């Protein structure tokens, strides 16, 4: 698992900012309805992805209910190092999509508002038990992700107390001014952010990326 993923980068200058700030992963968004969408067939997307690879960044492809065939095409083109499923995919879908040896990350969209450990466990544990890495995110409704809404960190902290060995990350409404508290409260091993490092929405800010990474220091 990465430590800090900056999701929805679209420009080489974003990648420069990510690398300078010390994050180790980027998200390339292949969901056509997202404001952060990248066309996988565009030469500029391959160029961007190869640039990130040269900088040593882990490239995570974000997909929403995408076909296994399309995901495989993107993997084969060396656009990504890891697949993140962020839609309504079932465990059976994930099995069909899994592209060995590429690790697969399942975004688990939890309701915003108060959570309980049994509710979190019911959503997350089947994916963990099946061997997938998981990213806990706020349910963005029809947008699926990138909504800037945060989760109930206290309950997630209680859930993770008994699961210290689990490969998981936290997303949802993280920002430079709250990510340290989020890590402390939840014991997250990895964090992921899209809108919290943008100004205006949809445009990454080098200053916010730097502040986020400083605050999210895992040392
Ligand atoms: O970012 C998007 O636009 C997006 C759209 C559809 C599915 C997933 C999407 N983003 C995936 C991510 O990993 C985001 O970083 C995550 O949802 C957190 O977003 P935010 O709350 O804005 O930090």
Per-residue pLDDT of the chain (219 residues; tens, 9 = 90+): 889 999 999 999 999 999 999 999 999 999 999 999 999 999 999 999 999 999 999 999 999 999 999 999 999 999 999 999 999 999 999 988 887 667 899 999 999 999 999 999 999 999 999 999 999 999 978 889 999 999 999 999 999 998 888 989 999 999 999 999 999 999 999 999 999 999 999 999 999 999 999 999 864
Confirm or reject: Cβ of 60 under 6 Å from ligand 1. no
Residue 100 three-state SS: coil
* Three-state secondary structure of 129-191: HCCCEEEEEECCHHHCCCCCCCCCHHHHHHHHHCCCCCCEEECCCCCCCCHHHHHHHHCCCCE
- Name the residue of 194, 195, 196, 203 whose CB sits within 8 Å of the most ligand 1 atoms, as the mutation to test its pocket: 194
Q: Whose CA is nearest to atom 9 of ligand 1?
A: 145
Distance 138 CA to ligand 1 centre (A): 9
Give me the CATH topology for the region 4-215.
TIM Barrel (3.20.20)
Ligand 1 centre to CA of 28 (Å) is 10
ipTM of the complex: 0.98
Residue of 31, 62, 82 best suited for mutating to test ligand 1, as the one with most atoms within 8 Å of CB: 62
Q: What's the pTM?
A: 0.96
Look at ligand 1, atom 5, and give the residue with the nearest C-alpha.
Answer: 145
Kind and range of the H or E run holding 63? strand 58-63
The preferred substitution site among 30, 63, 133, 137 for testing ligand 1, maximizing ligand atoms within 8 Å of CB, is 137
Ligand 1 atom at minimal distance to the Cα of residue 196: 23
30 lines ligand 1 (CB under 6 A): no
């Amino acid at each position: 698992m990465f430590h800090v993923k900056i999701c929805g980068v679209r420009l080489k200058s974003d990648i420069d900012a990510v690398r300078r700030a010390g994050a180790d992963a980027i998200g390339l968004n292949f969901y056509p309805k997202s404001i952060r969408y990248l066309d996988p067939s565009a030469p500029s997307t391959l160029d961007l992805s190869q640039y990130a690879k040269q900088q040593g960044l882990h490239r995570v492809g974000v997909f929403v209910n995408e076909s296994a065939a399309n995901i495989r095409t993107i993997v084969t083109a060396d656009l990504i190092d890891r697949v993140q499923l962020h839609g309504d995919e079932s465990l059976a879908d994930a099995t069909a999509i899994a592209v060995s040896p590429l690790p697969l990350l399942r975004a688990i969209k939890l309701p915003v508002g108060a959570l309980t450990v049994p509710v979190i466990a019911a959503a997350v544990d089947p994916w963990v038990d099946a061997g997938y890495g998981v990213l806990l995110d706020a349910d963005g409704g029809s947008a699926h992700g990138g909504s800037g809404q945060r989760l109930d960190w206290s309950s997630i902290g209680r859930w993770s107390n008994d699961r210290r060995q689990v490969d998981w990350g936290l997303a949802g409404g993280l920002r430079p001014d709250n990510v340290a508290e989020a890590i402390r409260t939840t014991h997250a091993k990895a964090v992921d952010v899209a809108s919290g490092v943008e100004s205006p929405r949809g445009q990454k800010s080098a200053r916010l990326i730097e502040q986020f990474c400083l605050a999210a220091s895992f040392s």
